[in-house]
Amino acid sequence: MQGASMPTLSDTARVRRLRLLLSLSLVGIAFTSVVILIGAWTRLVDAGLGCPDWPGCYGALVVPDAERASLHSPHAPLEAFKAWVEMIHRYLASTLGLLVIGLLLLGAGLRHTPGYPWKTSVALLGVILLQGAFGAFTVTLKLWPQVVTMHLLGGLSVLVLFLWLHLGLRRFVRGETTVPKRRLTPLWMAAVALLVLQLALGGWVSSNYAGIACQGFPTCNGQWWPEMDWSEGFHLTQTVGPNYLHGQLHADARVAIHHGHRLGALLLGLVLVSLAVRHWPQARMRPWLGGLVIAYGVQLGLGIANVLMWLPLWLALLHTAGALSLVLLLALAVWHWREPLEEAEDSTRRDKEWVHV
């Protein structure tokens, strides 16, 4: 029989492996989002020190009974609900780590192939290991705000790297290995920097329990510029050792932190809207930039509602989910901006070709 030759076994295995890698990287994006939200829930129900040790809980791999817990840590009485919340978060985070290792092993055979996102896979492993260390320090340093904030940023970094890996795998599948990418303009870099800053400020608000330090909106405690202690609120050399559950700062310092987060949100919004206006004539950028501006508006509304409703658990979790949406949408917008126009026009056709492989 003449004509097109059948693919070899090795070709078939390669296609299957790439499809598995694509699927697992997509699962990684969703699973990381769940782990971050469970971590936020853990903090919101004051379960961050539900287990006083790490990686076990009162020296066990599962939450023990009160008698064993008392023998292990008599200074930290067992609260079973909080201990289980903390351990569930650890189990899920450990599973995420195994997923990262699995992706690395599956892609190891392709690491020398031009265009394969091997460096992204290695970076993902490095960040997940660092994130594990931050998780340990969160407990051993008793919710030290610096570590808690870095733990949040680390989780978001894992999320972005999973997204970057998935997009890189899609590009590899399409055969786009040597196309140069556009550099980010100052406006794009400002948007990225301000989002990172705002996320860090959000983590600082949470870790210092300043979420309702300002009552009312748009004023703060009935004033446009209330009494604030900026030096104490953003003093980054806080003592290591005290238990930071429920915070250690006085009211004016917490007001400064909260107010700083509000000002950061305003500045970020101005830059995101400017970015959308600047690139709106480019039709292929409209879905990402439009979605980004809408997500920002929703997130702003959630933040205001949290203040006015005194930070209910479900609304605080939605605010965290809004932050994840902003991160993912800005990352996607950056990715598509860096993609040359010719490549963007061909991507749909190549996707269709890949489906029929």
User: Is the per-residue pLDDT at 68 higher than 70?
Assistant: yes
Model confidence band, residue 180 (pLDDT cutoffs 50, 70, 90)? confident
Model confidence band, residue 80 (pLDDT cutoffs 50, 70, 90)? very high
The 3-state DSSP class for residue 267 equals helix
| CB contact at 8 A, 190 and 267 | no
Does 353 qualify as catalytic in the annotation? Answer: no
Concatenating the DSSP letter of every residue in 125-192 gives HHHHHHHHHHHHHHHHTTS-HHHHHHHHHHHHHHHHHHHHHHHHHHHHHHT--S---PPPPHHHHHHH
Confidence (pLDDT) at 182 = 87
pLDDT tens string 160-171 = 999 999 999 999
Confidence (pLDDT) at 179 = 65
Confidence (pLDDT) at 31 = 98
Model confidence band, residue 9 (pLDDT cutoffs 50, 70, 90)? very low
User: Is the per-residue pLDDT at 6 higher than 60?
Assistant: no
Model confidence band, residue 93 (pLDDT cutoffs 50, 70, 90)? very high
User: Is the per-residue pLDDT at 4 higher than 50?
Assistant: no
Confidence (pLDDT) at 33 = 98
What are the residues whose beta carbons fall under 8 Å from the beta carbon of 60, sequence distance 6 or more? Answer: 68
Least reliable range by pLDDT among 2-6, 293-297, 310-314: 2-6
Percent of the residues in the chain that have a pLDDT greater than 70, as a whole number: 92
Confidence (pLDDT) at 122 = 98
Model confidence band, residue 178 (pLDDT cutoffs 50, 70, 90)? low
Confidence (pLDDT) at 348 = 47
Model confidence band, residue 20 (pLDDT cutoffs 50, 70, 90)? very high
The mean of the pLDDT values for the chain is 92
CA distances (Å), origin 335, targets 26, 117, 196, 294: 16, 14, 17, 19
pLDDT tens string 315-354 = 999 999 999 999 999 999 999 999 876 554 455 454 444 4
User: Is the per-residue pLDDT at 301 higher than 50?
Assistant: yes
Confidence (pLDDT) at 354 = 44
Two tokens, residue 135: 């998780």
Model confidence band, residue 211 (pLDDT cutoffs 50, 70, 90)? very high
Q: Which of 67, 79, 86, 342 is catalytic?
A: 86
pTM of the complete model: 0.92
| CB contact at 8 A, 218 and 119 | no
Confidence (pLDDT) at 181 = 81
What are the residues whose beta carbons fall under 8 Å from the beta carbon of 95, sequence distance 6 or more? Answer: 31
